[in-house]
Chains A and B, each alone.
Chain A
Amino acid sequence: MIPDHTVVKFLKRTEPLFIHLAVSNVDRHPISVRGFGVKIDDRIDCLNIYILKAQTEKVLSYLSSGNGVVACLFTDGFSNESYQIIGRFINYKASIREDLEILTGYRKSSLKLFPKMYAKFPLSTAICDVISYKAEEIFVQTPGPYAGSKYQKGEATNDS
Chain B
Amino acid sequence: MIPEEMMPALMGVVPATLITSSKEGIPNITNISRVWYVDSNHVAVANHMLKKSVQNLQENPYAFIRTIDTTNFSTWELELEYIGFRTEGEIFAEMKTQYEVLSMMLESEMPITVICAELFTVVSARICEEENSHLRLLTETYHPLLEQLEKKFGWDRSAVWITDDFVNQLHLAIVHGLDEESAQKVLQRVAQWSSQQEKPVLINNIRSQYQYAFTTFLNQLPEKEKFSVENYRNINQNYVAIPVRNKDKKIMAVIGSQSNDELFFSEFNEDLLHIASRILSQLIEKLHGLEDDKERQKMIAQALDRILLEGSKRTGDKNTVLSPRELQVALQVAQGLSNEEIAKALFLSKRTVTTHLERIFQKLSINSRTALASYVIENGLSDSP
Binding site for B on A (CB under 8 A): 20, 22-34, 52, 54-55, 58, 66-67, 69-73, 75, 80, 82, 84, 86, 96-97, 100, 104, 114, 116-117, 119-127, 139, 141, 143-145, 147-148
Please give, as numbers and ranges, the residues of chain A lying within 8 Å of B63 by CB-CB distance: 30
Asked whether B130 is an interface residue with its Cβ less than 8 Å from the other chain, the reply is: yes
Asked whether B165 is an interface residue with its Cβ less than 8 Å from the other chain, the reply is: yes
Contact B64 A29 (CB under 8 A): yes
Please give, as numbers and ranges, the residues of chain A lying within 8 Å of B60 by CB-CB distance: 28
The DSSP consensus for interface residues of chain A is mixed
8 nearest A-B pairs in the assembled complex, by CB-CB distance: A122-B171, A24-B21, A54-B130, A97-B166, A148-B51, A22-B27, A22-B29, A67-B25
Asked whether B147 is an interface residue with its Cβ less than 8 Å from the other chain, the reply is: no
Pick from A28, A55, A73, A145: contact of B29, CB under 8 Å: A73
Q: B237-253: contact bitstring with A at CB < 8 Å (1 yes, 0 no)? A: 00000000000000000
Please give, as numbers and ranges, the residues of chain B lying within 8 Å of A20 by CB-CB distance: 17, 19, 29, 66
Contact B130 A55 (CB under 8 A): yes
Please give, as numbers and ranges, the residues of chain B lying within 8 Å of A123 by CB-CB distance: 171
Pick from B17, B133, B167: contact of A97, CB under 8 Å: B167
Query: A30-B19, A31-B64, A73-B30 are known contacts. Are A52 and B79 too (CB-CB below 8 A)?
Result: no
Contact B25 A124 (CB under 8 A): no
Q: What count of chain B residues pass the 8 Å CB interface test?
A: 47
Please give, as numbers and ranges, the residues of chain A lying within 8 Å of B19 by CB-CB distance: 20, 22, 30-32
Q: How far is the CB of B299 from chain A (nearest CB, A)?
A: 24
Binding site for A on B (CB under 8 A): 14-15, 17, 19-31, 49-52, 60, 62-64, 66, 68, 70, 73, 75, 77, 79, 130-135, 138, 162, 164-167, 169, 171-173
Please give, as numbers and ranges, the residues of chain B lying within 8 Å of A84 by CB-CB distance: 28-30
Contact B30 A29 (CB under 8 A): no
Query: A24-B21, A122-B138 are known contacts. Are A30 and B27 too (CB-CB below 8 A)?
Result: yes
Contact B26 A52 (CB under 8 A): no
Please give, as numbers and ranges, the residues of chain A lying within 8 Å of B29 by CB-CB distance: 20, 22, 30, 32, 71-73, 84
Please give, as numbers and ranges, the residues of chain A lying within 8 Å of B171 by CB-CB distance: 122-124
Please give, as numbers and ranges, the residues of chain B lying within 8 Å of A69 by CB-CB distance: 25-27
- In the assembly, what is the distance between CA of A86 and CA of B25, in Å? 12
If A27-B62, A84-B28 are given as contacts, then 13 extra A-B residue pairs at C-beta distance below 8 Å, sorted by A number, are: A22-B19, A24-B25, A28-B62, A31-B19, A32-B64, A33-B131, A69-B27, A73-B31, A96-B166, A139-B52, A143-B31, A147-B51, A148-B49
- In the assembly, what is the distance between CA of A85 and CA of B64, in Å? 18
Q: How far is the CB of A77 from chain B (nearest CB, A)?
A: 10
> Which B-chain residue is minimally distant from A27 (CB atoms)?
B62
Contact B28 A80 (CB under 8 A): no
Please give, as numbers and ranges, the residues of chain A lying within 8 Å of B133 by CB-CB distance: 54
Query: A29-B79, A141-B30 are known contacts. Are A148 and B52 too (CB-CB below 8 A)?
Result: yes
- In the assembly, what is the distance between CA of A143 and CA of B66, in Å? 18
Q: How far is the CB of B130 from chain A (nearest CB, A)?
A: 4
Please give, as numbers and ranges, the residues of chain A lying within 8 Å of B77 by CB-CB distance: 31
Q: How far is the CB of B163 from chain A (nearest CB, A)?
A: 8
- In the assembly, what is the distance between CA of A125 and CA of B25, in Å? 31
Q: How far is the CB of A133 from chain B (nearest CB, A)?
A: 12
Contact A100 B52 (CB under 8 A): no
Contact B166 A120 (CB under 8 A): no
> Which B-chain residue is minimally distant from A97 (CB atoms)?
B166
- In the assembly, what is the distance between CA of A141 and CA of B52, in Å? 11
> Which A-chain residue is minimally distant from B68 (CB atoms)?
A117
Please give, as numbers and ranges, the residues of chain A lying within 8 Å of B165 by CB-CB distance: 124-126
A/B interface sample: 7 pairs, CB < 8 A: A22-B29, A30-B62, A70-B27, A84-B29, A121-B135, A123-B171, A147-B51
| Most A-side CB within 10 Å, residue of B27, B31, B62, B68 | B27
Q: How far is the CB of B117 from chain A (nearest CB, A)?
A: 18
> Which A-chain residue is minimally distant from B163 (CB atoms)?
A124
- In the assembly, what is the distance between CA of A55 and CA of B15, in Å? 21
Please give, as numbers and ranges, the residues of chain B lying within 8 Å of A27 by CB-CB distance: 62
Contact B134 A54 (CB under 8 A): yes
Query: A29-B64, A100-B166, A147-B49 are known contacts. Are A22 and B138 too (CB-CB below 8 A)?
Result: no
Contact B73 A116 (CB under 8 A): yes
Contact B66 A32 (CB under 8 A): yes
Query: A100-B164, A117-B68, A122-B172 are known contacts. Are A55 and B131 too (CB-CB below 8 A)?
Result: yes
Contact A71 B17 (CB under 8 A): no
Query: A28-B62, A30-B20 are known contacts. Are A125 and B166 too (CB-CB below 8 A)?
Result: yes
Please give, as numbers and ranges, the residues of chain A lying within 8 Å of B52 by CB-CB distance: 139, 148
- In the assembly, what is the distance between CA of A27 and CA of B68, in Å? 26
Q: How far is the CB of B339 from chain A (nearest CB, A)?
A: 40
